Amino acid sequence: MTRISELAAHLRGELAKVIVGQREFVDQLLVVLLCGGHALVEGAPGLAKTLAVKTVARVCGLGFQRVQCTADLMPSDVTGGNVFNLASNSFSLHKGPVFTDLLLVDEINRTPPRTQAGLLEAMEERQVTIDGERHPLPGHFTVLATQNPVEFEGTYPLPEAQLDRFLLKIRIGYPSAEEETEIVSRHAALVDPRDLERTPVTPLEPGALDAARAETAAIRVEPSLLAYAVAVARRTRDWPSLSLGASPRAAIALLFASRALAAIDGRDYLLPDDVKAAAGPVLRHRVMLKPEADLEGLTPDDIVRQVLASVEVPR
């Protein structure tokens, strides 16, 4: 699995030319790409989420589109639609931004439920239905949806069914003092990291991502570790502080994300530590706290750590 660890090192190095810090964010983006899943990205404005995703797309040779969600965004604004052509006297498909590899859906909780439902089909079935006709999406289609963790006025909370479709929920914090100084210094030196055309980014070799996905799927998983991942997901369902536990889809996501972390670490086998490292991003958006637990100041991450501590680790 050295090839995937080298790919990860290459991706980190190329992003470092544009993004300062955000190592965990970059690694979790790579997990999403290796698993062929989707991610919900939570962080305050101004933390370079869009720039990071655009850079990843460029390094990996993937198409990129961005949708800014608003309360009046319609499903057709994302999927596209059939447009009548007067010259040919016929309808032709006008493809929306969803027909891409990496789709950044900015502030997804500001778009109405009807549009969220349109994205749900694209995420789950990797296709869109327009006027009764199905249109497949690209093989690398990935949704990276952002939401602001502190501003909720005028938002539509994502339903549990849609949250469960996201492989990971990635949280981005503020940079350290040293990292923020470096960011400001780059701008003071009139270096604009947003101008990717002038940034010498070295792309991956064609087919490298597909080969990495195949290698990730071949990671060896012992039956005891498979049972461990299932036990962690099942334990959340009867946890006293939770009103909603993780679904079987969560157990599958936990296994997939764990394999990707093992591959990034250069191993062809799974360890319990891989499952533990993947548990937070995989489960934090799939569990629902009881009101009394919320009043006590507990967070989903706190509960996930408690659950991990209660499940026996295989030897």
Domain ranges in the chain are: 2-191, 219-310
The reported pLDDT for the residue numbered 2 is 62
The predicted-structure confidence for 30-49, as pLDDT tens digits, reads as follows 999 999 999 999 887 878 88
Q: Side-chain half-sphere of 309: how many Cα atoms within 13 Å?
A: 6
Task: Check residue 18 and give its pLDDT.
Answer: 81
Digit-coded pLDDT (tens) for 83-120 = 877 777 777 788 889 999 999 999 888 888 888 888 88
26 exposed, middle or buried (CB, 10 Å; 0-12, 13-18, 19+)? buried
Mind listing the pLDDT tens digit for each residue in 118-149?
888 889 889 988 888 888 999 899 999 988 77
Per-residue pLDDT, 43: 83
- Choose from 10-24, 172-186, 282-296 the range with maximum mean pLDDT: 282-296
Find all residues with CB under 8 Å of 123, minimum gap 6, and list them: 38, 143, 162, 165, 166
| pTM of the full structure | 0.88
pLDDT on residue 233: 96
Residue 103: name the closest of 141, 133, 152 by CA.
141
For residues 143 and 84, what is the distance between their CA atoms, to the nearest angstrom?
Answer: 29
23-35 and 272-283 helices, crossing angle to 10° = 90
Classify 2-191 by CATH class. alpha beta
Residue-averaged pLDDT of the chain: 87
Residue 1: is its pLDDT beyond 60? no
* Distance (Å, whole) CA 262 – CA 206: 23
Fold (CATH) for 219-310: Helicase, Ruva Protein; domain 3 (1.10.8)
